[in-house]
Amino acid sequence: MIPGERVIAVDGGGSGSRFLCDGPAGRVTVELGPANVYTDFDGALRVLRDGLGQLARDMGADLTFAPACLALAGVIDAGIADRVRRALPLRHARIEEDWRAALEGALDGRDGAVVGLGTGSFAARKSGDAARAVGGHGLRLGDEASGAWLGRSALSRALHAAEGLADASPLTDVLLDRHGGVAGIVGFARDAAPADFAALAPEIAAAAGGDDPHAVALLREGAGYMRRALSALRWAPSEPLSLIGGLGAAYLDWLPQDMAAAHVPPAGTALDGALRLAHEFRGQR
């Protein structure tokens, strides 16, 4: 460890990216657009280079040799991590998937688990030096319990209600009326991005609070998925559990008793976690 050395932390997600440089003179932060290195590698690299360049200008320093941790959406394997590392103007960069920093920040470095619940979803657990995540994979193949999953599932239930495959409810009636019936829902889904489906999630959560049967069933199904994900990670109820992301609070009333008892509010953000990992990386050099 070099006294007075600066470190860099980056939390690059599908909805926005945050950059931080921590040094002896204080901290500088920058916020820019999304950086998913799997779905848009070139676009993500432009954002990352712009953010790192702005940090260097704001710090008035050359950050080429500063230890850095970049926690980025889309780092699904070591090959992508290496490709990102080689493309950046940094000599000492640790590249992680975004869940790793979220886990570290939410638990402040402690052992335990998190479930990330935003437009997408994931579950992750840390035990000693080992950390593992399950889930995610995008709306087409996964992201169970997420905002996008809730929205898509509610629209599917509205179609079933319209065609007599399920009983109607106030939620399905509202969704059918808003979209102009079955054809309107099908047309919306044809062009909708995950964020468009996720925009329905607060309404679904509110409907569950009002005992709408379809909304209640979806929240319970989402909580059941979390239970299976945590079981796959070998989480134990004696360990802390934190629900993070915009939908975390919506699920608190629907958790199984042992999960609810273990729940703790997140101690920090993914950027806090990336900074912690950057300092750890710095200490290993």
**Do 100 and 163 belong to one domain?**
no
Classify residue 123: in a domain, yes or no: no
Q: Which helix (H) or strand (E) holds 90?
A: none
Q: Residue 37's pLDDT band (boundaries 50, 70, 90)?
A: confident
Instruction: Check which CATH number belongs to the domain holding 92 and give it.
Output: 3.30.420.40
- Examine residue 98 and state whether it is found in any structural domain, yes or no: yes
Q: Model confidence over 104-134: pLDDT tens digits? A: 999 998 999 999 998 889 999 999 989 999 9
153 and 104 inside one domain: no
Domain-located, residue 134: no
Q: Are residues 104 and 152 in the same domain?
A: no
As to burial, measured by CB atoms within 10 angstroms (0-12 exposed, 13-18 middle, 19+ buried), residue 108 is middle
Give the closest residue to 203 by CA, choosing from 168, 166, 178, 167: 178
Q: Establish if 138 belongs to a structural domain.
A: no
Residue 254, in any domain of the structure: yes
As for how many domains the chain has, the answer is 2
Q: Per the structure block, which two tokens stand in for 8?
A: 């860099």
**Judgement on whether residues 154 and 251 belong to the same structural domain of the protein:** yes
Same domain, 183 and 257: yes
Q: Is residue 122 part of a domain?
A: no
Other residues' Cβ atoms within 10 Å of the Cβ of residue 120: 26
Same domain, 220 and 280: no
* 135, part of any domain: no
Q: Are 266 and 242 a contacting pair, CB within 8 Å?
A: yes
What are the pLDDT digits (tens) for 143-202?
Answer: 899 999 999 999 999 999 999 999 999 999 999 999 999 999 999 999 998 888 999 999
Helix (H), strand (E), coil (C) string for 125-182:
EEECCEEEEECCCCCCCCCCCCHHHHHHHHHHHHHHHHCCCCCCCHHHHHHHHHHCCH
Mark whether 255 and 176 lie in a shared domain. yes
Is residue 60 one of the residues assigned to a domain? yes
Residues 201, 196: Cα–Cα separation, whole Å: 10
**Residue range of the domain that includes 192:** 147-262
Name 269's Cβ contacts closer than 8 Å, sequence gap at least 6.
Answer: 11, 102, 105
How does pLDDT run across 240-249, given as a tens digit for each residue? Answer: 999 998 899 9
Q: Under 8 Å CB-to-CB from 192, ≥6 apart: which residues?
A: none
Residues 155 and 224 in one domain: yes
273 membership: H or E segment, kind and range: helix 270-284
